[in-house]
Amino acid sequence: MLGDLLPNLDVIVTIVLRGTAVGALFAIVAMSFNIVHNAAGIFNFAQGSIFLLGAFGAFVLADRAGFGLWLPMLVLVALAVGALTALQGWITLLPLRSSVEQDSWLISTVAVSVIIAASLTLAFGSQGNMVQGPLPRYTIIGVRTPGAFLLAIGAMFAWYVALRWFLRRTFTGLAISALSQDFDAARAAGIPVRRLQLLAFGVSGVVAGSVGFMVAPMISVSPDAGLRYVLNGFVAAVVGGIGNNTGTLIGGPLVGVIAALTAFYVGGAYQDLASLLVLVLILMFLPQGLFGRAAARKV
């Protein structure tokens, strides 16, 4: 009996690798949530669709133009998605300037998410698309692993380090951090609040869009897939403690591995249900996330 439940090494490695790779994407979406949340106090419900925009960028450009131009196209797509997200931020922040209604962003970001998904459906149809990646498969502990998996995990760490450097070393990044630590003191110091909030939106778009582009080969590039990433990315952010990028490094892969385990033992279609259960349990019992008070400290 027990023997049936305990899989062999190959399966374990597969689950962990796949879970970590998919979880890395959740971590990326969670980081892009955090950037905007820390700077503007807003949770961008459209972040999953924005991530997907990057993947569609890969579908449109990289697949046809060949891999010689992969890198410049990555940069191009990331910047384009970043600019779009900054535009979204501008629209989202418009009503907050004067209105008493301070949570209109909840509605407008959901609306933007619907708009992006609908536009993608119109342009590309509702079916999933396959995208080729530049990397071959590698063999890791006897398991053939798509290159995109490694790219995903690598991107998570790369963006984590890059964001940490940006937020702790550059003047602009420090100013964004200052905004999240003491909003009034930041304004008193003359830090240009609105401009930095838009920049935070833009950066979150660059992060999500670039990774969407890179990992397009390992995901189903279909317009409605954005919801999956927004949901799991949020779970990853909550598990790691909202606002805490370091927490996402654990939260993302954890959610990913739980999803992979669910897929293996119960069935692929139950992955989102598992994430929902994790979300509800965490919110009910550990609303500060796994890392408790550490979550209050923002990166």
Between 144 and 168, CB nearer to another protein? 168
Cα separation, 222 vs 77, in Å, equals 17
Strands (E), 181-242: none
Ramachandran category for residue 142: left, alpha or beta (phi over 0 → left; psi -120 to 50 → alpha): left
**One-letter amino acid identity for 102?**
Q
When the beta carbons of 16 and 238 are compared against another protein, the nearer one is 238
What sign for the dihedral angle of Cα 200, 203, 207, 210? positive
| Two tokens, residue 212 | 């969407």
Nearer to another protein, 116 or 216 (CB): 116
Q: Which is nearer to another protein, 1 or 188 (CB)?
A: 188
Q: Please report which helix (H) or strand (E) contains residue 144, including its range.
A: strand 143-145
Residue 117 CB, nearest approach to another protein (Å) = 7
* Least gap, CB of 86 to another protein (angstroms): 16
Residues of this chain that bind another protein (CB under 8 A): 43, 45, 91, 94-95, 99, 101, 103-104, 106-108, 110-112, 114-115, 117-119, 121-122, 126, 171, 174-175, 177-178, 181-182, 184-193, 227-228, 230-231, 234, 238, 267, 269-270, 272-273, 275-276, 279-280, 283-284, 287, 297-298
Q: What are phi and psi of 144, to 5 degrees?
A: -75, 120
Closest contact distance (angstroms) between CB of 279 and another protein is: 6
- Nearest-approach distance from CB 69 to another protein, in angstroms: 31
Provide the minimum distance between the beta carbon of 21 and another protein in the complex, in angstroms, as a whole number: 22
> What is the rounded distance in angstroms from the CA atom of residue 44 to the CA atom of residue 170?
24
Which of 221, 223, 245, 217 lies closest to 233, judged by CA? Answer: 245
What residue type is 70 in one-letter code?
W
Q: Which is nearer to another protein, 210 or 222 (CB)?
A: 222
In whole angstroms, the minimum distance from the beta carbon of 193 to another protein comes to 6
Q: Give, as one character, the DSSP assignment of residue 140.
A: E
Residue (95 or 147) nearer to another protein, CB = 95
Amino acid making up residue 174: L
Q: Toward another protein, which CB reaches closer, 132 or 170?
A: 170
Beta partners for residue 256, in sequence order: none
Least separation, in Å, of the C-beta of 179 and another protein? 9
CB-CB contact of 113 with 46 (8 Å): yes
In angstroms, what is the minimal distance from the CB of 232 to another protein? 9
Rounded distance, CA 8 to CA 252, Å? 25
Q: How far apart are CA 244 and CA 299, in angstroms?
A: 6
Between 7 and 95, CB nearer to another protein: 95
Helix (H) or strand (E) holding 161: helix 147-169
